[in-house]
Structure 1
Amino acid sequence: MLSVAGVAGVALRTLRTRWTTFAGSFVALSLGVALIAVMGLALASSLDAPDRGPERFAAAPVVVRGADRLRVSTPAGERVQRLAQPRAVPPGTVTELRKLGTVVEDRSFAVRARGGPGDLVGHPWSVAAFAPYTLDAGRAPRSAGEVVVSGDWARPGERVRTDHGTVRVVGTVAPRGFEHAVFYTDARAARLSPRSIQLAVDADADAVRAAVSGSADVRVLTGAGRRSADPDPDRDEKALVAMNALFGTAGGVTAFVSVFVVASTFAFSVAQRRREFGLLRTAGATPGQLRGMVVAEAFLVGVLASAVGCVLGAYGAPRLASWVVAGGLAPPWFGIGDAVWPYGVAFATGPAVALCGVVAASWRAGRTGPAQALREASVDTRTMTWGRLLSGTGLLLTALVTLALALYGDPGDLLHRKTYVSRPMLLITAVALLAPVVVRPLTRLLAWPAARLPGAGGMLVRENAAAGVRRTAAIAAPVLVTVALTGSLLGATATLDEAKATEARQRTSAAFVVVPGGGTGGGTSSGTGSGTGGGTGFAPETLRELRDVPGAEVSPTSSSAVYVLEDGVALNRAEARAADPGPLAATTRLPVAAGRLGDLDDGSIVVNEEWRRHTVGQRVRVWLGDGTPRTLRIAAVMTTGTGDNGVYVTPRNAPGAPVDRVDVALRHGADASAVAAGLRAAVRTSGGRVLTGEQWVRAGRPGTDRTTRTGLLLVLGIALLYTGISLANTMVMATSDRVRDLTVLRLAGATRWQVLRLVGAEALVVVAVGGVLGLLVAALDLAGMWGALCLLSVRTPLRLPWTAVGTAMGACALLAVISSVTPAAIALHRATTQPTATRE
């Protein structure tokens, strides 16, 4: 009978003598702990943005800003949303402010200049002093054709062509880091951007507050509050939210893959050590003691791996911070702080993951009987236990049932990132547990062509892989993870992008689309969150010229928003487009599920099925883009689609929204080339672009945003890294267990290279098994997304990323062949040099 101390001693000696068995688990756990420590440190550093001072108005005594927020009282408290079209400071208030001191109206508008940065923004020269900007060359602008620019992309004396006409650069200022500015004279800026939603006032703050007290929602900004008048004042918080999602997803996948790899490795290790456990049972060890020994081994590996992982995490976290800053995924100020709790969480993760991964394996070890010491069979038996079968079947049914419930209740949820990242993990676990059921027939099927070739090599490959079910399943498991995640994640984003492009193509029947220079039109509403109140759009005279083009049916539209209070407590924002219903019907094919688009008027609205109230004829209370409350009748209801089917209102219900897109249909008998020429002539002075309908769809084709793409690549990189570790470790373990088999082949007359080719071919077959199972998981996952798109009235083909999947499988195959052939070659060399020891 072994004592507790004896069990612990055996565990320590096992770790020392069978270190190759635990090397893969140790490395996997070390890297997992390191990654979790890195992600934890990054999350701790990104929980709060630092206090940032004002930028554009750092030197302004007081800034007065028009109403830019919608505030709605609810039983659960006040709800606030930023307005799509902030209101200007009332003229009467401006008059009162002028009595107190100097008042400078701020104007901001997009500028596109040949050879200049893509994010140029125009201002009146009088506001430059509030940043403060100071001239470092040239002079201030004095006429409408003169500008001052920030940076060195243009020098004084140069003439630059812009979408607002050709201008001459007369001066430059040093860049301030938060914008690329072009300064016009005050008069020219006022003509280019008539609306001004904020003012700089040189007066006492208390006096200013008294002057604006009668104006509803007008804000007086002083001190740090002046930051609200900066461009995109919430950009730091947005960046932190994106980083939190990135690091959180990567950390979750790391934990999942760690448990998966460690569980697979320990399960194979226990299967290999059946004779060892049988001998211990013969020596008097109880089942509980065997389980305790396996658990003790895992715990010791976890503790040692955690210590190493925390050291690696402390080394890697600052480098991750530098990488995300250099890649533009984090603000320049982002860095790793001095938080301690991530190390504690990471250190506890190692033993916890090891113990989670060894639970099933320890139970199997305890069931080993004394007779197992006499077993020599190479064919695996009872690979599918009742517990494994029930667990795998339960997880698979859970995945299918939750998918069916989502399709029935909320198919749109399947299109969200958090859903299509997490769902494959459930399917991967289920398929991995059920793998022994299909490994043998699938192996025989994949190896059937090779078995038909002359000679015994193909037959041996098939039979060896099919006989060693546990070995095949253990090696195929990491390949399954990598291929399934690659196919599911990249396939989901590609399918969604294709669905959105299909929607845009189906909704557009215009022959031409006219957009401001450099844009695709239809973007977010100008002024939202920017603090500028400006925007880019077509001037009224340009719209008149477009309407005068012979043969053109013109439909100008504007980007705006409406706000609705759902369930009495949630104030939701819905993107909206403003258009006249007649021209709109001629240039678009909206997916109308009920009602008529032609019934849209100033007293009605077109909504989609995602709205809580979406019955034609119902009246809904909304707030327009400038905060004006209205009660509108539902004229038509659109299908939900991928979420881009917003709402439609008339221009009267989108006050202040500039026209940022003009769809053009051809009248009966009109010549397309003549209409195109007329449209180009109409927008030549304003710098607009004339695109065909198909060109506009291609130019605006949606793509996965940079943060999401980087997060997915990080997740897939983690999966591939663990695949390499697990493959190498499992192959070394499997080869060390087959030394006698390989030696017998040599004694039977096989050459060394024939044996090595046999081992490499077996590895390729096993990788193919894992790849097929991974593709099955990816196909099931993407089929659910395709079903959701069909229910949302979007007909689009599935996009499986064959190139990425092929690359992942190729990398797995290369790793498997190297990890199997190399130890086999070493084992054969030793067997050749020590024939007596080998044959004993």
Structure 2
Amino acid sequence: MLSLATVRARWTSFLGTFVALGLGVTVLAMTALVLTSAQPEVPRRYAGARVVVQSPAVDQSDGTFTPGRPWSPERTDALLRALAAVPGVARAVPDRAFYAQAVIDGTPVGDPGPEPRGRNWSGTAFGPERLVAGGPPADEHQVVLDASLGLAPGSPVTLLTAAGPARYTVSGIVSGAGHPVVSGADSGTVSKAASKAASEAGSEAASGPVDPPSLYLSDRAAEALAPGVRVIGLVTVPGADVPAVAAAAASAVGGDGTVLHGAALTALEDRSAEKTRWIGLQILTAMAALTAFVSVFVVASTFAFAIVQRRREFGLLRTIGATPRQIARTVYAEALGVGVLAGGAGVLLGALLAPALGALMVEGGLEPTGFTVRFRALPLLGSFALGLVVAMLGVWSASRRAARTAPLEALREAAVEHRPMTRGRWIAGAACTALGLGLVVVAAGSESDSMINDALYAAMALIVGLTLFAPAVIPPIVRAVCHPLAGLPGATATVARESAVTAVRRTASTAAPVLVTVGFAVLVAGLFQLRAGGYALEETVRQQATSVVTPQGTPGLSDAAVAAVPGGASLLPTRLYAGGTDHVGAVGMSEAAFRGARTRMTVTSGSLDGLTGENTMVVKAGTAAWLGWTTGRRVQVTFEDGRTVDVTVVAEITDGSATASVLLTTRTVRAHDPSALTSVVYTAGTTSPAVLAPLGAQALSSAEYASRTSSEDDALVRIFLVVLIGTSLGYSCLAVANTLLMATAQRAGDFTVLRLSGATRRQVLRIVAAESALAVGIGAALGLLIAVVTLAGVRSGLSAQLGTRVDLALPWSTMALTIGVCLTLALPAGVLPARAALRRPGARAAG
């Protein structure tokens, strides 16, 4: 009853805690609903499939989202015959995927996403596409295009494949609306039918996952571009028993594949969509973790400051017989009451905002197209319970401090704080700071995948450490900052300085959330710039290149684009499959690329001179030890065409000598992966843009390439930073405003003394503004210190790993925005309550 009465009487003091917890539960509820809704979906191109056979899956523990091991052409033919003989199966159809992109008006068009859009015509048996004009491709030089491209049957079109551009003739037009074949129509009729079909297809697609438009070649042409097959669909006869067909198909396939039907068809989801969901999961998880961390931080700061202001109140309770345990229980009950109210409001608001968050995730490329939020009770209940846990954790330290209040505190009139740094605070601050510095060292030596997480953990520990040390470090910082201002006329700087030093907890409570916001924002923005820019420069340095040719509007470079760069050093990535479920990334190196890189390679055994022909490879030492691929041994590897070949290991190199696990010749890769695309071409010369543009390529300087590589991650960086800054800055603004409001509410006496001493109202407001700006400046400086220390450690580690100097570029725009918003909020949050306090009758009478 006492706790409830206190909450009612002091509701303004608990308003900040209520809002902080409410926002925290809102974010947790939104993220929980989105996370539980992010489930695999059946790709739209398999919408009509009832039974599908998928090639053997491979290990996914490395986080590369690698598709299953493909079947070879010979094994595919054998499986097709066996599956076609299954009772209830009308025919078995292979699904072949390859890179192909239409070129219109000299520019590649269509979606250049990670999944290939070229398909074999027979694969339309399972998808929603239907001919709306023309007919299927009759030979290897005909193509069926989507209606959205606006071409009519009989039109010539250039297709860009991995080999380069080639001329085709449009034989037909498809749309996903399921319309019947339109035959004997003139071009005008075709155009109208195609436009109508495309419009209706778009309406239909809005209700589920949508694949970008595909183009279709004849089965023979598709087999030449995609000899390896990973999916075989079964066309069942009308009325067939699907489970029985699936069981018989599983018997026919044996252990060389997995039979899917019903809900299991979600396993056909593209690996790129799975990776997209995984990235979204990381963003949402980081947002939830940051929300919980900052919520505890803000609640703890708010309650700690409130406890300082309520010393006399607790002293009175102790005087009339309250025990320390009862005082602590009172504070916990206050937090619980506020937490229940805030949790209920947060759950309701989170449920309302979750669809908007899901839409933003789709728009930002962090969830597949067609993703929708599904409402479930369990995530909402879990968010509510977690909100209560956050409230209890946040008030833990404050409750212990309140329990230690002595009865004599009821007699204190002075507001001067005593012993702001306790022994426990010194020990905890030193431990957290030491842990943070240790994690900085760990982050500097971490692999790229774990470097960002380690750096964030280091920043969290340093933030907690410096916050605990704040009462000790703030006085000397304030005196150092204000010392140059001592000679200025007027007493504003002197009074602001002494007020900040005297009320050190108020200053620390105001500076702490600014420290969190600035530290995290600058750190994350700087980390992404460091990582992206550093790794972009790595291969450029290896190849000693001054110019880099990169894709423009295409997912990679064709052989024609590579040939257009005389003397260029090119890298052709592919993937190799070893025995069982093992797989490794490989890259085919041109002769120029190999010459440029070999001088920086450290050979542990064998000779690099042996990397010639189609059946040799160089392996990193870690990969060789893992797979048992010793130098001189002939090992069996399966390529992207599904064929298993004996390849000789001619040399082993140290793990830092190359980015890929296995080095091959481009000749080897092209022989087994007809649709592989070159990632970049490094050159010391220049190439005409007019030559590169029709091939979907552009030339950039090394510096531009590093900057562009960084900007390619900008979508993820922007989303992450928006989440980070939006969350932490919102909490920072809330905490700053709440602290200043609580402090100013009890400073009417201070303002009266200042007025009696001769200060004008304007001078008093200037003093309050100076105190607020000083607190924000201290928080920003400490946050920048944490960010710079952590970034410097990561930069040192990256430079050592990459063997080249990585520049430390601070994100000045993010820094200015964050500090500016904090300052913009802190000034009115301090000045406006002070202005209201000066208008009270007592203050007016004193004036």
User: Which residue is equivalent to 2:678?
Assistant: 661
Separation in 1, partners of 2:28, 2:781:
30
Separation in 2, partners of 1:402, 1:517:
40
User: Are 1:749 and 2:750 an aligned pair?
Assistant: no
User: Which AA in structure 2 matches 1:625?
Assistant: F
CA 1:574–1:276: 2 relative to 1, 3 Å = same
**Which segment drifts farther, 234-243 or 253-262?**
234-243
CA 1:585–1:558: 2 relative to 1, 3 Å = closer
User: Which residue is equivalent to 1:172?
Assistant: 173
User: Which AA in structure 1 matches 2:732?
Assistant: T
TM score, norm. by length of structure 2: 0.80
User: Which AA in structure 2 matches 1:607?
Assistant: K
User: Which AA in structure 2 matches 1:657?
Assistant: D
Unaligned 5+ runs, structure 2: 177-200, 202-209
Separation in 1, partners of 2:825, 2:31:
27
Does structure 1 conserve the Cα–Cα contact (< 8 Å) formed by 2:440 and 2:455?
no
Q: CA deviation at 1:828?
A: 0.5
CA 1:24–1:572: 2 relative to 1, 3 Å = farther
- What is the CA deviation profile of residues 694-732 of structure 1, one whole-angstrom value per residue up to 9, with x for unaligned ones? 366665557437456424421321111111111111001
Unaligned 5+ runs, structure 1: 1-7, 522-535
TM score, norm. by length of structure 1: 0.81
Residue from 678, 691, 698 that aligns with 2:699:
691
Residue from 788, 808, 814 that aligns with 1:798:
808
CA 1:719–1:468: 2 relative to 1, 3 Å = same
Q: CA deviation at 1:222?
A: 7.1
Q: CA deviation at 1:819?
A: 0.5
User: Which residue is equivalent to 2:345?
Assistant: 308
Does structure 2 conserve the Cα–Cα contact (< 8 Å) formed by 1:108 and 1:122?
yes
User: Which residue is equivalent to 1:435?
Assistant: 470
User: Which residue is equivalent to 2:741?
Assistant: 732
User: Which residue is equivalent to 1:574?
Assistant: 584
Does structure 1 conserve the Cα–Cα contact (< 8 Å) formed by 2:570 and 2:682?
no
Q: CA deviation at 1:661?
A: 3.2
- What is the CA deviation profile of residues 94-125 of structure 1, one whole-angstrom value per residue up to 9, with x for unaligned ones? 89579978776654432142363233833444
Does structure 2 conserve the Cα–Cα contact (< 8 Å) formed by 1:506 and 1:589?
no
CA 1:186–1:394: 2 relative to 1, 3 Å = closer
SS, match of residue 649 in structure 1: strand
Residues 491-506 of structure 1: matches in 2 within 5 Å?
491-506=526-541
Figure out how many residues of one structure are paired with residues of the other and give that number. 781
Residue from 103, 113, 118 that aligns with 2:103:
113
**Which segment drifts farther, 92-101 or 163-172?**
92-101
Residue from 241, 257, 261 that aligns with 2:278:
241
Does structure 2 conserve the Cα–Cα contact (< 8 Å) formed by 1:33 and 1:350?
yes
Q: CA deviation at 1:327?
A: 4.2
Residues 113-152 of structure 1: matches in 2 within 5 Å?
113-114=103-104, 116-119=109-112, 121-140=117-136, 147-152=143-148
SS, match of residue 678 in structure 2: strand
SS, match of residue 380 in structure 1: coil
Does structure 1 conserve the Cα–Cα contact (< 8 Å) formed by 2:439 and 2:458?
no
Residue from 38, 45, 55 that aligns with 1:56:
45
User: Which residue is equivalent to 2:204?
Assistant: none
User: Which AA in structure 1 matches 2:735?
Assistant: S
Does structure 2 conserve the Cα–Cα contact (< 8 Å) formed by 1:89 and 1:218?
no
User: Are 1:813 and 2:826 an aligned pair?
Assistant: no
User: Which residue is equivalent to 1:93?
Assistant: 78
Separation in 2, partners of 1:351, 1:99:
59
User: Which residue is equivalent to 1:783?
Assistant: 792
Q: CA deviation at 1:81?
A: 6.5
Separation in 2, partners of 1:95, 1:85:
14
Residue from 359, 371, 374 that aligns with 2:408:
371
SS, match of residue 721 in structure 1: helix
User: Are 1:648 and 2:654 an aligned pair?
Assistant: no
Identity of aligned residues (%): 33
User: Which AA in structure 2 matches 1:661?
Assistant: T
**Which segment drifts farther, 366-375 or 214-223?**
214-223
Residue from 200, 213, 216 that aligns with 1:183:
216
SS, match of residue 840 in structure 2: helix
Separation in 1, partners of 2:303, 2:552:
61
Residue from 766, 770, 774 that aligns with 2:779:
770
Q: CA deviation at 1:782?
A: 1.8
Separation in 2, partners of 1:420, 1:401:
10
Separation in 2, partners of 1:278, 1:71:
64
- What is the CA deviation profile of residues 182-230 of structure 1, one whole-angstrom value per residue up to 9, with x for unaligned ones? 2345566566667667666778899999999999976586755995996
Does structure 2 conserve the Cα–Cα contact (< 8 Å) formed by 1:616 and 1:635?
no
**Which segment drifts farther, 711-720 or 758-767?**
711-720
Does structure 1 conserve the Cα–Cα contact (< 8 Å) formed by 2:97 and 2:119?
yes
SS, match of residue 113 in structure 1: strand
SS, match of residue 606 in structure 1: strand
Separation in 2, partners of 1:816, 1:699:
37
- What is the CA deviation profile of residues 40-62 of structure 1, one whole-angstrom value per residue up to 9, with x for unaligned ones? 2333333x435x3x643555798
User: Which residue is equivalent to 1:560?
Assistant: 574
- What is the CA deviation profile of residues 719-762 of structure 1, one whole-angstrom value per residue up to 9, with x for unaligned ones? 11111111111001111121111122222222222211221111
Does structure 2 conserve the Cα–Cα contact (< 8 Å) formed by 1:767 and 1:812?
yes
User: Which AA in structure 1 matches 2:780?
Assistant: G
SS, match of residue 787 in structure 2: helix
User: Which residue is equivalent to 1:5?
Assistant: none
Q: CA deviation at 1:328?
A: 4.0
Q: CA deviation at 1:480?
A: 0.8
CA 1:88–1:700: 2 relative to 1, 3 Å = farther
Separation in 1, partners of 2:267, 2:7:
63
Does structure 2 conserve the Cα–Cα contact (< 8 Å) formed by 1:68 and 1:87?
no
User: Which AA in structure 2 matches 1:824?
Assistant: A
CA 1:516–1:717: 2 relative to 1, 3 Å = closer
Separation in 1, partners of 2:844, 2:495:
26
Residue from 599, 618, 641 that aligns with 1:605:
618
- What is the CA deviation profile of residues 435-488 of structure 1, one whole-angstrom value per residue up to 9, with x for unaligned ones? 111011111222333333222112222221122111100111111110111112
SS, match of residue 382 in structure 1: coil
